[in-house]
Structure 1
């Protein structure tokens, strides 16, 4: 019996048994878990900085099926015009056909073309010390600029800058964004949001903070034409100037404000349920409207709109995380509309070499493409042959 017991003891030698963590490490792990759980509880209990409004966004149009939004590669062969401006938000041309565009650092560039239409080296035309977005030449050759930091500006041919308006009705113009100029010199422009900056929290909140404004060069006064817009963005007059369009980026629609006729002073929807966030609007010689789509629809944003609790939670996150979550999809997209609001066609770069598109401007047989921070860099163009 004693020998048997000895053999039994020996047979268990060398067997691996699970090792228990030292008590100090266990306590540390439990403490860390408790801190995390407590942090989550506090995060959930802290009031949200916004009170979101529920919105059931319409189902996004398919980019794969037949129809005007059908996927293609019309923008994939884009040619670089200049990379001097990194984020050329808007594009316009002077009477000599020179291209003008601004950059987010305040500089406005001029790009001449040779006799064959080839772009030459970009030159700095002016520096607003702000962020110039919309640009358009008036009848006197002055470049009228909407600068999101400075307001409505006029820059004469020598580059001198004058502030036309930075207030309306005694209140600030918070974020002057885009513009168009009527034949009588009246300037129609958007005041994007009284947030005064682009922030994901405004998307999550889903409340209208934007306005459409008019500047009268005779009285030198600005007036509010339309308010309660969901991120007022691009602006364009119709060929007959009987209405002006303004893009409501956060509701995927173009709104029409009537300037003449029986509907004067009223507004309606020109086109809705776009396949992305509309940015700037330009009008070509045929009276058609071109719209840059900064990003295709973001499914999580539409889902968030249907759930105010989730939107409120999202708004608590650091702005750096929110901005990353709402970065533009790497899919270039621009849309063409008839004067009546019918979607004629769409232009894509599904490969994402060209993306974050803000402007599509038709000029001399080319479609010129501008972008904003977060998108691809530089001014590009593609032939308008379809």
Structure 2
């Protein structure tokens, strides 16, 4: 055989040996990687969960497609932007002159006036709590009463001066003051959402009640606990007769009623259950109807966790940063309307998702004003109500 052919055969054999060697190295690398991943999974499963989830047989969510009060529509799809100065206007209220007030997650509280034709003017900063103002309502004296999730229950006078009314109850901190309503006698009813002190996926997965309904008496300056054991206590609203107060339990899709007068005084029951999503804030209009912002429609994965404590406990081991998407609001705007008897009389939707993450709906002067929270669309919106 000529030398050139011998060299060619040897060269080919060398290339083949090199390729086989590379494939062996690659197989060993892949096998090692798989073993490492398998070991990681085993360790992850063996590590104890930071929570002990409670099982809950979650009722099937109401259908948004079938005929009924939850059925899809486009009533919110034509929403008009009022102002985008507050990016996350959690709650909305109005003063006696009809000016709109709302807070933002950076601590600022904005005031928006309207011209003679009802057009919104440029938003002005009214006050800055240096916290996170959520609920807002004016008292009889013109002070803006605020529930701030970082600062507690606050009072802001017309000049913008801030006073802390309550940040403790029974010698313990008010962990997460959220929403409020004020009675004719000046009593302030407000929610302390959770002793977790923050919104966390672990609390959803754990499925245990950590919230409270509180009352502040302006005469004695004392705060008392009315209800404990609430599943993420949120929106608060008094009935028109002030014989009961409602509090939203977001994580159990229900509105709970606490009786203030009558034979049931001091007791509680369920006002509305199995809502089509996570109820947030509650407002009452002049007709006595309640409007409930639904932050997000039901999340099937969350309902599955409630039915399967092992799955919930396993998910709680993951870093919060990886779980934020699991509880993000669906891009579907939703508001529910209830009668004073707890009957769902209608729902308002934006299935397009231009307006979503709804926290508040306020029926005022011919419009339904909509607020949102971080994770949802930004700014205050409004929809013209049918006459």
Report the TM-score range of the alignment, normalised by the length of the smaller protein: over 0.9
1:28 is displaced (CA, Å) by: 2.3
- Alignment correspondent of 1:49: 50
1:34 counterpart = 2:35: yes
- Alignment correspondent of 2:373: 372
1:34 is displaced (CA, Å) by: 1.6
1:351 match: secondary structure: coil
2:34 match: secondary structure: helix
1:28 match: secondary structure: helix
Cα deviation per residue 1:21-71 (whole Å; 9 max; x = unaligned)?
A: 343333322222221111111110000000000001100000011110010
Distance 1:138 1:62 in 2: 40
Cα deviation per residue 1:144-192 (whole Å; 9 max; x = unaligned)?
A: 0000000000000000000000000000000000000000000000000
Distance 2:168 2:87 in 1: 29
2:257 match: secondary structure: strand
Distance 1:323 1:254 in 2: 25
1:232 counterpart = 2:233: yes
Q: Out of 23-32 and 102-111, give the one that drifted further.
A: 23-32
- Alignment correspondent of 1:3: none
CA RMSD of aligned residues (A): 1.8
Distance 1:81 1:147 in 2: 23
1:313 match: secondary structure: helix
- Alignment correspondent of 2:308: 307
1:323 is displaced (CA, Å) by: 1.3
- Alignment correspondent of 1:221: 222
Distance 1:268 1:25 in 2: 65
Distance 1:306 1:146 in 2: 34
1:61 counterpart = 2:29: no
Cα deviation per residue 1:248-279 (whole Å; 9 max; x = unaligned)?
A: 00000000000000000000000000000000
The correspondence of residues 112-123 of structure 1 with structure 2, limited to 5 A, is 112-123=113-124
- Alignment correspondent of 1:243: 244
- Alignment correspondent of 2:76: 75
2:362 match: secondary structure: strand
TM-score by length of 1: 0.95
Cα deviation per residue 1:66-120 (whole Å; 9 max; x = unaligned)?
A: 1100100000000000000000000000000000000000000000000111000
The correspondence of residues 1-386 of structure 1 with structure 2, limited to 5 A, is 20=20, 21-385=22-386
Distance 2:201 2:327 in 1: 7
Distance 1:312 1:379 in 2: 37
1:244 match: secondary structure: strand
TM-score by length of 2: 0.95
Distance 2:273 2:337 in 1: 13
Unaligned runs of 5+ residues in structure 1 are 1-9
1:345 is displaced (CA, Å) by: 0.1
Distance 2:84 2:183 in 1: 31
Distance 1:361 1:296 in 2: 19
How many aligned positions are there? 376
Distance 2:223 2:124 in 1: 32
1:219 match: secondary structure: coil
Distance 1:168 1:323 in 2: 31
Unaligned runs of 5+ residues in structure 2 are 1-8
2:322 match: secondary structure: helix
1:140 match: secondary structure: coil
Moved over 6 A (4+): none
Cα deviation per residue 1:220-252 (whole Å; 9 max; x = unaligned)?
A: 010000000000000000000000000000000
Distance 1:252 1:24 in 2: 55
